[in-house]
Amino acid sequence: MTYSSDSSYVVLFKTFVVLNTAALSCARGWYDGAQLLSWQKKSDRPANQLLPAETTYELNIDNKIHHQSGICTELPLIMASVTGEDSKKLKLYSYWRSSCSCRVRIALKLKGLDYEYIAVNLLKGDQKSPEFLKLNPLGYVPVLVDGDIVVADSFAILLYLEEKYPQHPLLPKELQKRALNYQAANLVSSNIQPLQNLPVLGYIQEKLGADEKVVWAQTNIRKGFAALEKLLENYAGKYATGNEVFLADLFLAPQIDGGVRRFNVDMNEFPLLSRIYEAYKELPAFEDAMPERQPDAPPEARA
């Protein structure tokens, strides 16, 4: 895309604008209605010359000057807001009872991101279709599609969303607390959920029977919950790592919910997790993301 040397663009839009530079500095803001944007190099430039790299520019927004250094990489984003190129909905391939999908649904709600819900019926084998396997060769949900970008795996999706859509941060600034969130999230995603997902439980039931399947799930969930209680005991506030909702909470909420409602885990053993689970129920973003609220949930789950 080529831009003229005119220093002003009158842009009609209502969107969230992120202006990145090579130095990764950014200016962010909500702009409503008609705004006057002015990109201007601090030295004269010939007509029809593109904005060069490694220079300093001024962004004039409502007569307020914001200095930006580096490459003007995101001016197309402003123009895309006018053409609608950047207004396409996110697409989330999800299964109503998938705790991994639930993590992402919570994040999308917290960040205020509109998305299209595309149901993948795991019981009917939709995840094995050629179309879905093009998105995720492993055949697992969730998968997020953001324009031309396809991201599979809930952990990868959440980190992607955190980088691209920084509103409502999922990670704290403090390094120690950030590391704690990574640990708690990974404990769930690596040491609890994989041991009680559909393929594993199906195999256990086939080899050992339905009763042993439940015992297997309960045993591994209880082991993981005990580890989480110890990990978080000196850090938890209203939520897992303090009084704000962060990454760890997005993993804990659906895991606790599944442990309680699907596998009848006795939460009296885990007072800390029980307390924060009750706190999650007060948050609309969490409640709206729960399995029974999803469009592909069967009628009996909604009751």
pLDDT tens-digit readout, 236-245: 999 999 999 9
Question: What pLDDT, on the 0 to 100 scale, is given for residue 245?
Answer: 99
Residue 90 has pLDDT above 80, yes or no: yes
Which region among 32-36, 147-151, 181-185 has the lowest average model confidence (pLDDT)? 32-36
Residue 54 has pLDDT above 80, yes or no: no
The proportion of the chain whose per-residue pLDDT surpasses 70, expressed as a percent, equals 71
Q: What is the CATH number of domain 175-301?
A: 1.20.1050.10
Q: Which class would CATH give 90-164?
A: alpha beta
Tell me the mean pLDDT in the region 28-44.
36
Tell me the mean pLDDT in the region 170-181.
98
Question: What pLDDT, on the 0 to 100 scale, is given for residue 283?
Answer: 98
Residue 184 has pLDDT above 50, yes or no: yes
State the pLDDT confidence band at 303, using cuts at 50, 70 and 90.
low
> Average pLDDT, whole number, for the chain?
79
Question: What pLDDT, on the 0 to 100 scale, is given for residue 197?
Answer: 86
Residue 144 has pLDDT above 50, yes or no: yes
Give start-end residues of each CATH 3.40.30.10 domain in the chain.
90-164
Angstrom CA distances, 280 to 191, 238, 289, 292, 303, stand at 22, 9, 11, 15, 20
Instruction: Give residues with Cβ within 8 angstroms of 146, minimum separation 6.
Output: 90, 91, 160, 164
- State phi, psi for 60 to the nearest 5 degrees: -95, 110
Tell me the mean pLDDT in the region 103-126.
98
Residue 132 has pLDDT above 70, yes or no: yes
Question: What pLDDT, on the 0 to 100 scale, is given for residue 299?
Answer: 93
Residue 71 has pLDDT above 70, yes or no: no
> d(Cα 141, Cα 262) in Å, to the nearest integer?
19
Residue 80 has pLDDT above 60, yes or no: no
Question: What pLDDT, on the 0 to 100 scale, is given for residue 236?
Answer: 98
Higher pLDDT, 141 or 211: 141
191-211 pLDDT, tens digit per residue, is: 999 998 888 999 999 999 999
Q: For the full predicted model, state whether its pTM sits above 0.75.
A: no
State the pLDDT confidence band at 260, using cuts at 50, 70 and 90.
very high
Ordered DSSP codes for the chain: ----S-SEEEEE--EEEEEE-TT--EEEEEE-SEEEEEEEESS---TTPPPPSSEEEEEEETTEEEEEEE----HHHHHHHHHTTT-PPEEEEE-TT-HHHHHHHHHHHHTT--EEEEE--TTTTGGGSHHHHHH-TT--S-EEEETTEEEESHHHHHHHHHHH--SS-SS-SSHHHHHHHHHHHHHHHHHTGGGGSHHHHHHHHHHH-HHHHHHHHHHHHHHHHHHHHHHHTTT-SSBTTBSS--HHHHHHHHHHHHHHHTT---GGG-HHHHHHHHHHTT-HHHHHHSGGGSTTS-HHHH-
Question: What pLDDT, on the 0 to 100 scale, is given for residue 61?
Answer: 41
Tell me the mean pLDDT in the region 288-303.
93
Give start-end residues of each CATH 1.20.1050.10 domain in the chain.
175-301
Which region among 15-29, 105-119, 153-167 has the lowest average model confidence (pLDDT)? 15-29
